[in-house]
Chains A and B, each alone.
Chain A
C-alpha cells in the first residue's frame, strides 16, 4: 500500500514535469526590446507624379501615363560604395533617352539632373545618357569592359511593381542585355520624381 502511494506521487510529479517541459518548449521567446516596424509610405502612387523640365518646357507624368509609354526590359545589378551587391534584377521601365526625346532630346555638353524627395541628387552627362562612361564589374566585383548599357527609369522589378523600399515607384537602373553585369550603385537614384535638363546653351 505504501509503495502504491509512492508510485502515485511519482506519477503525478512526472505528469506535472512533462506539462512544464511542453510549456517551456512551445512558448516562443520574445526579444526584450522588440523592433517596431519600419514606417514607410504605402505603395499607393495615385498622387505621385514625375516632373521633367529644361528651363523652358515642363512635362508632368503620372505613373499610369509612364506605363503607357514603350517599355524596355533588361538586366540590372548594382554595388554600393562599400561593396554590397544589390541584384541581379530583371528591370522594366522607360528608357531615359525616350523620355528626354519627348523634351526635344539632349546634345553634347548638356546634363541631366535626377533627384528624389529624400534629397538625393545625381548628375549624368551626355556621354552617360548614351550608356557610356560607366564602370562595370563581374559578379566577383572584378572590373570588366563595359558591354552596351542603357539608363532605365524602372517601375517594375522581377515582374512585380517596384516597391517603395526598392525605390518605387520610379528608380534609375543601369541595364544590360547580359546577366551579371554590375554597375556602381551611386547613380541608381531611388524614388525619382524630378528630372532637370541643364542645357549647355542656357
Chain B
C-alpha cells in the first residue's frame, strides 16, 4: 500500500513538472498589430502601446515611424502590410488611399477618423540667444537677428518643414511686414527664395536642391536632428509642432492663431500661403503645399491582417487622445466616431 502511495506521489510530481515546463518554456505567441505612423505621433503611440500591452498581454503593438506620405506609401506603393495608418495630415488619406488595391476592386481605405490638431511653435532652450527676450509678439524680430541661428526641416521631406515656411509667409500678412519671410529665411538660401503673389496667394517656389548660405538657417531631414542640434546649442530656435516640443521637454513660444496652422477659424487665411516643392519626390502626389489646419487622422487599410485587434487598439488610442495629455496632439471637440460601430460604415469626412 505504501509503495502504491510513493508511485502516486511521484506521478503527481512528474505531472506538476510537465505543467511547469509547458507554462514556462513555451513562448507566448502574441498577435501583432502593426502601426505605421507620422514621426510626430511616435511619442503618443509609445505611451498607448505600453498601456495597451499591459492590459492585453496577448497583443504586440509594433510601431514604425516615417514622414506621413512615406507612412502611407509603405502600404500603397511598397505593398507592406500594416494594420493601422496614423498621419499628421488627414487630407493625405483620401488623396493617396482612396484608390483600388492592385488586382482587386476594393480601395486601400474609404474612411478616416480625424482625432487631433497641432500647431507650429518656436522651440528653444536656455542656451538660445535672446531666449529671455523672445515673446509671441516679437518672435520674428528675434529670429531675424543676424546672430540668431534657426532650424527648419527639409520641406521636401517633412511636413513640418514646409509648414515652417508657410508660417513665415503668413507672418508677413499678419504683421503687415512683407519682408519677414525673406529676412527670416528666404535671403539665406542660394538661390534666394522669393515670394510671388499669385492672385492673392503668396507662393514660394523651392529649387530642386535646397542650399543654405552662411549659418543663419540650418536644414535637416527631420525634427529629431533639429532638436538634437537645439539641445547641443548648434541652433538657437527651431520651428516645431507644439506636441513634439512638449514631449521632448523644450520651451517654446506659441504663435498667434492666425498663423500657427491650428485653427479651423483661420482656414481661409492659411490658404493665402503656398509652397511649391522643387520636384515631386513622390509621383503619386503633387508638389503644391497650401496652408491648412494641421489635423491628425488614422485609418485601418483594407489590407490589414489583424482587423478586430486593430479596431480595439484604435478605440483605445483615440480614447487616450481624446483625454489629451502632454506630448499629444490637441483632441478635437467631438468624440471620434468609429465607422465599424455604425450601420453605414462610411467615411468620416
Tell whether A pairs with B.
yes
Residues of A within 8 A of B (CB): 3, 7, 10-11, 14, 17-18, 21-22, 24-26, 28-36, 38-40, 79-84, 111, 113, 118-125, 128, 133, 135, 141-143, 184-186
- Give the chain A neighbours of B156 by CB distance below 8 A: 186
- Rounded to whole angstroms, the CA-CA distance of A82 and B223 in the bound complex is 7
- Give the chain B neighbours of A3 by CB distance below 8 A: 1, 4
Quick check: is B327 within 8 A (CB to CB) of the other chain?
Answer: no
Known: A38-B80, A123-B209. A33 touches B221 (CB 8 A): no
- Rounded to whole angstroms, the CA-CA distance of A186 and B158 in the bound complex is 11
8 A-B pairs with CB atoms under 8 Å apart are A24-B22, A25-B18, A33-B306, A80-B66, A119-B284, A120-B282, A121-B280, A135-B221
Does B32 contact A18, Cβ atoms closer than 8 Å?
no
Residue from B80, B221, B232 in contact with A186 in the complex, judged by beta carbons closer than 8 Å? B221
Stretch from B5-13, B115-123, B130-138, B257-265 forming part of the interface with A? B5-13
Residue from B15, B42, B80 in contact with A18 in the complex, judged by beta carbons closer than 8 Å? B15
Does B305 contact A36, Cβ atoms closer than 8 Å?
yes
- Give the chain B neighbours of A111 by CB distance below 8 A: 208-209
Quick check: is B293 within 8 A (CB to CB) of the other chain?
Answer: no
Does B279 contact A21, Cβ atoms closer than 8 Å?
no
Does B278 contact A35, Cβ atoms closer than 8 Å?
no
Does B208 contact A125, Cβ atoms closer than 8 Å?
yes
- Rounded to whole angstroms, the CA-CA distance of A113 and B65 in the bound complex is 26
Please, which residue of chain A has its CB at the minimum distance from the CB of B228?
A141
Does B221 contact A81, Cβ atoms closer than 8 Å?
yes
Does B29 contact A123, Cβ atoms closer than 8 Å?
no
Does B39 contact A81, Cβ atoms closer than 8 Å?
yes
- Rounded to whole angstroms, the CA-CA distance of A36 and B307 in the bound complex is 13
Known: A124-B209, A141-B225. A31 touches B279 (CB 8 A): no
Q: How many residues of B contact A (CB 8 A)?
A: 62
Does B281 contact A39, Cβ atoms closer than 8 Å?
no
Please, which residue of chain B has its CB at the minimum distance from the CB of A80?
B66
- Rounded to whole angstroms, the CA-CA distance of A193 and B91 in the bound complex is 30
Given contacts A25-B18, A82-B66, 4 further A-B contacts (CB under 8 A): A35-B81, A81-B67, A119-B282, A143-B225
Quick check: is B79 within 8 A (CB to CB) of the other chain?
Answer: yes
- Give the chain A neighbours of B22 by CB distance below 8 A: 21-22, 24-26
Quick check: is B78 within 8 A (CB to CB) of the other chain?
Answer: yes
Residue from A28, A35, A122 in contact with B305 in the complex, judged by beta carbons closer than 8 Å? A35
Residue from B12, B15, B28, B308 in contact with A33 in the complex, judged by beta carbons closer than 8 Å? B308
- Rounded to whole angstroms, the CA-CA distance of A149 and B166 in the bound complex is 34
Quick check: is B337 within 8 A (CB to CB) of the other chain?
Answer: no
Quick check: is B283 within 8 A (CB to CB) of the other chain?
Answer: yes
Does B208 contact A123, Cβ atoms closer than 8 Å?
yes
- Give the chain A neighbours of B283 by CB distance below 8 A: 119, 121
Does B209 contact A125, Cβ atoms closer than 8 Å?
yes
Residue from A18, A31, A38, A123 in contact with B79 in the complex, judged by beta carbons closer than 8 Å? A38
Does A7 contact B4, Cβ atoms closer than 8 Å?
yes
Please, which residue of chain A has its CB at the minimum distance from the CB of B8?
A10
Quick check: is B154 within 8 A (CB to CB) of the other chain?
Answer: yes
Residue from B11, B79, B281 in contact with A14 in the complex, judged by beta carbons closer than 8 Å? B11
Does B66 contact A113, Cβ atoms closer than 8 Å?
no
Quick check: is B19 within 8 A (CB to CB) of the other chain?
Answer: yes
- Give the chain B neighbours of A128 by CB distance below 8 A: 209
Does A31 contact B224, Cβ atoms closer than 8 Å?
no
Quick check: is B229 within 8 A (CB to CB) of the other chain?
Answer: yes
Quick check: is B21 within 8 A (CB to CB) of the other chain?
Answer: yes
Does B281 contact A122, Cβ atoms closer than 8 Å?
yes
Does B66 contact A32, Cβ atoms closer than 8 Å?
no
Quick check: is B271 within 8 A (CB to CB) of the other chain?
Answer: no
Quick check: is B26 within 8 A (CB to CB) of the other chain?
Answer: yes
- Give the chain A neighbours of B29 by CB distance below 8 A: 28-31
Contact with A along B265-307 (1 / 0, CB 8 A): 0000000000000111111100000000000000000000111
Please, which residue of chain B has its CB at the minimum distance from the CB of A191?
B78
- Rounded to whole angstroms, the CA-CA distance of A33 and B58 in the bound complex is 12
- Give the chain B neighbours of A142 by CB distance below 8 A: 228, 232
- Give the chain B neighbours of A14 by CB distance below 8 A: 8, 11-12, 15
- Give the chain B neighbours of A18 by CB distance below 8 A: 11, 14-15, 18
Known: A25-B21, A118-B77, A118-B78. A82 touches B31 (CB 8 A): no
Chain A CB within 10 A, most for which of B29, B229, B232, B307: B29
Does A39 contact B157, Cβ atoms closer than 8 Å?
no
- Give the chain B neighbours of A25 by CB distance below 8 A: 18-19, 21-23, 26
Does A34 contact B278, Cβ atoms closer than 8 Å?
no
Contact with A along B56-87 (1 / 0, CB 8 A): 00000000111100100100011111000000
Q: Ordered nearest first, which 4 A-B pairs have the shortest CB separation? A: A25-B22, A81-B222, A119-B283, A82-B65
- Rounded to whole angstroms, the CA-CA distance of A54 and B318 in the bound complex is 51
